[in-house]
Amino acid sequence: MDFLGIDSSFLLAVGQIIMIDILLGGDNAVVIALACRRLPEAQRRQAIFWGVAGAIGVRIALIFFALQLLALPYLKLVGAALLIWIGVKLLLPEDDDGHANLAASDSLLGAIRTVVLADVVMSLDNVIAVAGAAKGDIALVVFGILISVPIIVWGSRFVLRLMDRFPVVITLGGALLGWIAGEMAITDRVMRESFFADAVPGVVKYAAAATGALLVVLVGKWLASRQLATREPVEIPLDAGPSSGHKP
């Protein structure tokens, strides 16, 4: 089915890549703010522009190599397992001090370097997920990332508020990663050649994808509930109150 002359499968894949970049790239805006906070306003804008540009270039290069590697036997299975874990981790409660050790820089080049290096370190999950959604099409990767970058940089605060207000958005994001993982696993070269004569039926792909999505949601919710249940509540003594150190 085409929409305005564009293949609907292409639009679906682009939508998946944008969703992945928003969910897994939300920290990018935090990294940019922390890395550039000591710069003057004029240099801050330059650092944001060149830091984001460098991070995009590095990420596209990483995804290109990931696409090549996923053509090898068993690597899609490994990638699917990683995506399952990434999706589950997305549903777990987060710590608030994840960027506490990120140092700000006093120079333009230092801030740019910090943004690019931090993005590389943080982008493993994003690279694997986008490579799985792209299904070997590097042009699709580039297009999806270029569209999602302004959303991440300028709209991340809105997206994060949306996630805080409607937790179902995060659940849907985890399910999306599980969906991609299931489809990735069933289309691994070893699986295709061993069970499907090199051609996986569409119904099998959908069943595997749905199973991956369900697995992420169920395991993620279960682990999240256990994690919250094991946290010790803070007890406040009934007689606690301000102490002046002397009697009136």
pLDDT tens for 33-51 read: 667 777 787 787 788 778 7
Output the pLDDT for position 231.
67
Kindly state the DSSP code that residue 245 receives in the 8-state scheme.
S
Range 6-20 average pLDDT: 77
Q: Which of 70-79, 119-128, 132-141, 148-157 has the highest mean pLDDT?
A: 70-79
pLDDT (tens digit, 9 = 90+) per residue, 146-157? Answer: 776 766 666 555
What pTM was computed for the model?
A: 0.69
Residue found under tokens 């333009």: 108
Using 50, 70 and 90 to split pLDDT, how confident is the model at 115? confident
Output the pLDDT for position 214.
96
Task: Give the CA radius of gyration of the chain.
Answer: 22
Output the pLDDT for position 156.
53
Cβ atoms of 92 and 219 within 8 Å: the answer is no
Using 50, 70 and 90 to split pLDDT, how confident is the model at 216? very high
200-220 burial string, b = 16+ CB within 10 Å, else e?
beeeeeeebbebbbebbbebb
Cβ atoms of 161 and 192 within 8 Å: the answer is no
Burial class (CB in 10 A: 0-12, 13-18, 19+), 7: exposed
The closest of 64, 222, 233, 29 to 136, measured between CA atoms, is: 64
Cβ atoms of 18 and 124 within 8 Å: the answer is no
Range 111-134 average pLDDT: 74
Question: Does pLDDT of 244 surpass 50?
Answer: no
* Residue 239 φ then ψ, to 5°: -95, 10
Of 52-61, 70-79, 157-166, the poorest mean pLDDT is in: 157-166
Q: Quote the percentage of the chain above a pLDDT of 90.
A: 9
Cβ atoms of 148 and 17 within 8 Å: the answer is yes
